[in-house]
Chains A and B, each alone.
Chain A
Amino acid sequence: MAVAQLSHLTYTYPGAAEPALRDVCLEVEEGLTLVAGPSGGGKSTLLRVFNGLIPHFHGGRIAGSAWVDGLDVVATPTRHLARNVGFVFQDPELQTVYNVVDREVAFGLENIGLPPHEMAARVDEAVHAAGVAHLLGRTVRTLSGGERQRVALASALAMRPSLVLLDEPTSQLDPDGAAMVLAAVMSMVGQGRHAIVSEHRLDRLLRMARGLVLVAGGTVNTADPGTWRNQPSPARPSRQAPAGVEAWSLQRVSAGFDGRIVLDTIDLAGRSGEVVALSGPNGGGKTTLLRLIAGGLAPLAGTVERRPGRIAYLPQNPTALLHRPTVRDEVRLTLDRAGESERPEAVLEELGLLSVADRYPRDLSCGERQRTALAAVLGGTPRLVLLDEPTRGMDVAARDALVGFVARLRDRGAAIVLATHDADLRTALADRVVSVGGGKALETAMEAVRA
């Protein structure tokens, strides 16, 4: 039996020339359905149709019909559909209303006017279903990303929806956090609930999936999850030039905030033409280490040295950089400032962004924005490249393009430091892997990384 049905649905965002979804006909069966496809293909848009955020929240033009749990989505506002359809968003930090877990989980119940004496039982049921019962009473800001996402899942489940939508719920998380969330999703499906999950890395969910929906360029097709094969990991680009002289170093460096030591007496160095990958849990100190190397953060003790030359730095939230009217302008700004002769179009082509060169960067999908920010910092010939989670929200094709781009910079002699949870990226690019956590930075043997 279908839990959701779209019939000849076409949707265009306000002000957009082209539809984001075209003539979609789809029946979503019970159990777990996965949504896959390239960045900017329409996955998030499709998910938002199921709970009515499209068209009720975002506006725009819609044609065709959409039914979920017997409700006409086009005629039913999202706030009323909320009783039937739960939604977990990508960013765990931007979906929290209250600062205490119990209240956060109960927020939806308050909104639908559930009598207070019934709430405790509903909250208890939801936190057990999402595996976060042990977090009751905790302050939300003290939770890890994975814990926050599971609290968001509990908040959705508290409404007892017949369908739960999860939009790339693990894209912002470290491997442990992602594993926590996926385990909670699988447990939820195992308890007989229905879910639609959009993800780039489907490996762990495929064996439980009843349906697979492929979204690309606004068109939607279905596939058999049993026959789906993940795309292979990117090949390791061959090295064109050997690593050179020492380009940056930290000598007995300590760093921290608010009286808390994050890195304690670290010694580390990297050479030009070398890729150093930083791994470790969220909050372990990878970003702090990158900021120290970049010079954005002063050490509490010790010395940081780097060879002169341009630094390309991609911050953790790269879209925060974007402020120019077009993608092309973002790249041009950096190249002009650095006095580089390279054309913006060359950078955009290499990162697969030429088709959106004249679009407003903040109108793009999460993955496309990420690539725009990368293009904006990586153009030209930087001498030191510092990238904080560069593949966040990226599809496989975009990641492969990034691997090629970074390898080219490396071969031109740039010293590269990547802070990343992406094991495929590390395997494809890293010459050395440094595990950062517990205040320390320890080298990991490359054999262990490849294994």
Chain B
Amino acid sequence: MNARAVAAWSAACIFIVLSTTNPVYKATVLAAALTALAAGVGLRRLRGLLAGVLLISSFAVLLNFVSAHLGTTVLYKLPEQIPALGGPYTLEALAFGATGGLTVGAAILAAAPFSLLLASHEVMDALPAPLSRTGAAIAASLNLVPAVAASFVQVTEAQRLRGWRPRGPRSWSEIIVPVVLTSVEGSIQLAESMEARGFGSGPRTAVKPGRLQRSDWLLVGASAAALATFVISQVAGWATQWSAYPTLTLPSIDPRPLAACMLLFVPVLVWRSRN
């Protein structure tokens, strides 16, 4: 799997989902991203991510519902005197919030293959040569993340046995300070190790620059076609926008932009081999 091909697919997904207000197209992209990830890594590994996406999307829905007192279909009302929360709560605000939730969810899932399907060095290989050094530094930093999480568990456990108990925010300094210091020291040791292996000594090269395989070209082609078709659809007026306000209506669907979104399901075929 080539990170540049994955990037092309992610970019197409994110462009489409951000450039349209039509919930049908957004939902189609979300479904494409979800099924592609499920094909690539399996639903079991996705559980944590899906829970996070659900939480964030729900927050987006809720935020619009309680803050946008627009629309004609009033579900209930709070007294206007209540600051920020007072006013009518409408079906339109709920629907618009749901569209926002779809946008956030689809964008997160479209970007997720970079962490779930690719190793850090594969992502780094996709960077242009001038960013190679930055990429190496990022790859090294990512390697420290599990150590920080393990350090938090270890310090909390050891300090509890030393008599520490959580009593307000200040008491957490006994956990946070050692974890942060240990992480900083780990970073310094890693930096030492990188320096000792010539990091920063001059222009870098990369072992076996990643080449696009046939399946990667298929993915790039499908993503490009999806993107081009959707842009043309928007310019030609086939991909009509949608608004929940002032009165909720059903979004219109055109087969051409819908087909563009369907092209984003191609990874289901390509990524199956990685599962």
Interface residues of A (CB under 8 A from B): 51, 53, 56-57, 77-80, 82-83, 85-87, 89, 91, 93-100, 102-103, 106-116, 119-120, 123, 139, 141, 155-156, 159, 291, 294-296, 311-323, 333-334, 337-338, 362, 376-377
When distances are taken between beta carbons in the complex, the residues of chain A under 8 Å from B160 are 296
B144 to chain A minimum Cβ distance, whole angstroms, is: 8
Closest 7 CB pairs of A and B: A337-B163, A82-B198, A95-B193, A108-B197, A111-B198, A79-B201, A296-B157
When distances are taken between beta carbons in the complex, the residues of chain B under 8 Å from A94 are 147, 186, 189-190, 193
Q: A294-B157, A320-B154, A323-B181 are in contact. List 17 more A-B contacts (CB 8 A).
A: A53-B192, A57-B195, A87-B196, A91-B189, A98-B139, A99-B119, A103-B207, A106-B207, A107-B197, A107-B199, A110-B204, A113-B205, A120-B208, A321-B162, A333-B162, A362-B181, A377-B158
Interface residues of B (CB under 8 A from A): 119-121, 132, 136, 139-140, 143, 146-147, 151, 154-155, 157-164, 173-174, 177-179, 181-182, 185-186, 189-209
Q: Are B198 and A97 in contact (CB under 8 A)?
A: no
Q: Which of A97, A116, A159 contacts B136 (CB 8 A)?
A: A97
| In the complex with contacts A79-B199, A159-B198, A89-B162 CB distance below 8 A | no
A155 to chain B minimum Cβ distance, whole angstroms, is: 6
Kindly report which residue of chain A lies nearest to residue B194, judged by CB atoms.
A97
Q: Are A116 and B182 in contact (CB under 8 A)?
A: no
When distances are taken between beta carbons in the complex, the residues of chain B under 8 Å from A85 are 196
Kindly report which residue of chain A lies nearest to residue B191, judged by CB atoms.
A57
State in angstroms the CA–CA spacing of A112 and B160 once bound together: 47
State in angstroms the CA–CA spacing of A120 and B208 once bound together: 9
B207 to chain A minimum Cβ distance, whole angstroms, is: 4
Q: Are B201 and A82 in contact (CB under 8 A)?
A: yes
Q: Are A113 and B209 in contact (CB under 8 A)?
A: no
List 21 contacting pairs A-B, 8 Å CB cutoff, sorted by A. A82-B201, A98-B120, A99-B120, A107-B136, A107-B194, A109-B207, A110-B205, A112-B198, A112-B201, A113-B202, A113-B203, A114-B205, A123-B207, A315-B157, A320-B154, A320-B182, A321-B162, A337-B162, A338-B163, A362-B181, A376-B162
Q: Are B196 and A51 in contact (CB under 8 A)?
A: yes
Kindly report which residue of chain B lies nearest to residue A140, judged by CB atoms.
B143
Q: Are B202 and A323 in contact (CB under 8 A)?
A: no
State in angstroms the CA–CA spacing of A17 and B194 once bound together: 29
Q: Which of B139, B158, B182, B201 contacts A97 (CB 8 A)?
A: B139
A309 to chain B minimum Cβ distance, whole angstroms, is: 12
| In the complex with contacts A296-B161, A313-B158, A89-B206 CB distance below 8 A | no
Kindly report which residue of chain A lies nearest to residue B132, judged by CB atoms.
A110
Main secondary structure of the interface of B (DSSP, over half): helix
Kindly report which residue of chain B lies nearest to residue A56, judged by CB atoms.
B195
When distances are taken between beta carbons in the complex, the residues of chain A under 8 Å from B132 are 110
State in angstroms the CA–CA spacing of A317 and B179 once bound together: 11
Kindly report which residue of chain A lies nearest to residue B175, judged by CB atoms.
A323
Q: Are B207 and A116 in contact (CB under 8 A)?
A: yes
Q: Are B162 and A116 in contact (CB under 8 A)?
A: no
Q: Are A96 and B143 in contact (CB under 8 A)?
A: yes
Q: Which of B119, B196, B209 contacts A116 (CB 8 A)?
A: B209
When distances are taken between beta carbons in the complex, the residues of chain A under 8 Å from B207 are 102-103, 106, 109-110, 116, 119-120, 123
Q: Are B154 and A317 in contact (CB under 8 A)?
A: yes
Q: Are B200 and A111 in contact (CB under 8 A)?
A: yes
Q: Which of B143, B182, B191, B198 contacts A319 (CB 8 A)?
A: B182
Most buried by A among B119, B140, B161, B205: B161
When distances are taken between beta carbons in the complex, the residues of chain B under 8 Å from A294 are 157, 161
Q: Are B154 and A315 in contact (CB under 8 A)?
A: yes
State in angstroms the CA–CA spacing of A99 and B124 once bound together: 12
State in angstroms the CA–CA spacing of A109 and B201 once bound together: 11
When distances are taken between beta carbons in the complex, the residues of chain A under 8 Å from B177 are 323
State in angstroms the CA–CA spacing of A318 and B186 once bound together: 14
When distances are taken between beta carbons in the complex, the residues of chain A under 8 Å from B200 are 79, 111
A219 to chain B minimum Cβ distance, whole angstroms, is: 25
State in angstroms the CA–CA spacing of A317 and B207 once bound together: 35
Q: Are A112 and B202 in contact (CB under 8 A)?
A: yes
| In the complex with contacts A82-B201, A156-B197, A316-B154 CB distance below 8 A | yes
When distances are taken between beta carbons in the complex, the residues of chain A under 8 Å from B119 are 99-100, 139
State in angstroms the CA–CA spacing of A57 and B197 once bound together: 13
Most buried by A among B143, B155, B186: B143
Q: Are B195 and A89 in contact (CB under 8 A)?
A: no
Q: Are A99 and B157 in contact (CB under 8 A)?
A: no
B268 to chain A minimum Cβ distance, whole angstroms, is: 26
State in angstroms the CA–CA spacing of A308 and B204 once bound together: 60
When distances are taken between beta carbons in the complex, the residues of chain A under 8 Å from B143 are 96-99
B187 to chain A minimum Cβ distance, whole angstroms, is: 9
State in angstroms the CA–CA spacing of A149 and B159 once bound together: 30
B197 to chain A minimum Cβ distance, whole angstroms, is: 4
State in angstroms the CA–CA spacing of A119 and B132 once bound together: 17
When distances are taken between beta carbons in the complex, the residues of chain A under 8 Å from B185 are 362
When distances are taken between beta carbons in the complex, the residues of chain A under 8 Å from B163 are 334, 337-338
Most buried by A among B121, B159, B160, B189: B121
| In the complex with contacts A107-B136, A320-B182, A116-B147 CB distance below 8 A | no
Q: Are A115 and B139 in contact (CB under 8 A)?
A: no
Q: Are A80 and B201 in contact (CB under 8 A)?
A: yes
State in angstroms the CA–CA spacing of A106 and B155 once bound together: 34
Q: Are A155 and B161 in contact (CB under 8 A)?
A: no
Q: Are B179 and A320 in contact (CB under 8 A)?
A: yes
When distances are taken between beta carbons in the complex, the residues of chain A under 8 Å from B199 are 79, 107, 111
When distances are taken between beta carbons in the complex, the residues of chain B under 8 Å from A109 are 205, 207
